Amino acid sequence: MQTGIAHGDNQLLVFFTPESHAFILGGTVIPVPYDQLRSLLGKRATDLESYHDVKGMFVRNGDRFQVVYAMPDGEAAIAGTLWDAAGKNVTRQQIRYIPGAVPTVRIDVPEGAKAAAGNLSQQIYAGTIGREGAPEVIMFIDPRCSFSIRAMQVLQPAVDAGKLRLRVVPLSLLDYEDAGASTRYAKAMTSLPADAGMVQAWTSGGLSGVLDQPAPQAQARLDANMAAAKAVALTGTPTFFWKHKDGSLGRLDGVPADPDRFIGEIRQ
């Protein structure tokens, strides 16, 4: 296996890939033979379908999850995530039928969800950033999601220029990838006041001070955000919602490809 390191703002990923580059396996090496580890975990582990002959298992420890894969020689394991050559998250597909592993979501937005989305402002706890009076968008994120981070980077210039106002809603959807870090970071965000400081702490790596001592109300705020996400049939993060001038709901799943076009759609 070839080894590499990818890094971005406040994140570092060690990854492994075969010479064919058929997949990328990112995570932390566990220096224990995979079969021995599987035996030790017993009923806490659920075997996954092999991908390119790579064995894997879903491990449950109380309310925390972790996916572990075997190195090709079986002499070590990797706790992390598997992507295919096109960047598709294979891990998410492998565990989608395990109860509780991935939040149940739908790609479409049913009529009932549209009605719920109209009241999102009253349901969510969000950090608001941007000029008052600018077109406002609700942005659901997972603080550990690289696509959420990328979307914020893409839209930050528009926010700074006064063209866009964001209400950033923390969620925890990726605990199965990072052994519960998603929840810790989301609770750190919901421990902070609902203003620009929350967003800035997330984007600048300033959450460390509250990671291990979240506010007493942090869990309740996160629960409310998760309930709102379920009500609008969230597909993943980032996801954006806004109201058109005619009162209809606008929605975008994923990173905006063209910020100017995105803002133009919001103004309609």
Give pLDDT tens digits along the chain (268 positions): 787 776 554 555 678 888 888 888 888 889 999 999 999 999 889 999 999 999 999 998 776 788 999 988 899 999 888 888 877 778 877 887 676 665 433 323 344 444 444 566 778 999 999 999 999 999 999 998 888 888 999 999 999 999 999 999 999 988 877 778 889 999 999 999 999 999 999 999 899 889 989 999 999 999 999 988 888 877 678 889 998 888 788 888 888 888 999 999 898 8
pLDDT at 113: 44
- Give the residues across from 141 on adjacent strands: 170
- Which spans in 107-195 are helix H? 111-117, 120-123, 146-160, 175-178, 181-190
Helix 146-160 to helix 259-267 angle (10° resolution) is 70
CB 137 within 8 A of CB 98: no
Phi, psi of 253 (to 5 degrees): -105, 120
Model confidence pTM above 0.85: no
pLDDT at 116: 47
pLDDT at 15: 80
Cα separation, 99 vs 31, in Å, equals 29
pLDDT at 26: 83
Cβ count near 196 (within 10 Å): 15
Cα separation, 92 vs 83, in Å, equals 9
Cα separation, 93 vs 102, in Å, equals 10
Cα separation, 139 vs 10, in Å, equals 20
Lookup: tokens for 138? 């609700």
Question: How deeply is 178 buried, as exposed, middle or buried, from its count of CB atoms within 10 A (0-12, 13-18, 19+)?
Answer: buried
Cα separation, 1 vs 144, in Å, equals 26
**Which distant-in-sequence residues (6+ apart) come within 8 Å of 242 by Cβ?**
135, 136, 137, 138, 249, 250, 266
**In the chain, count of helices (H) and strands (E)?**
11, 12
pLDDT at 109: 38
Cα separation, 266 vs 243, in Å, equals 7
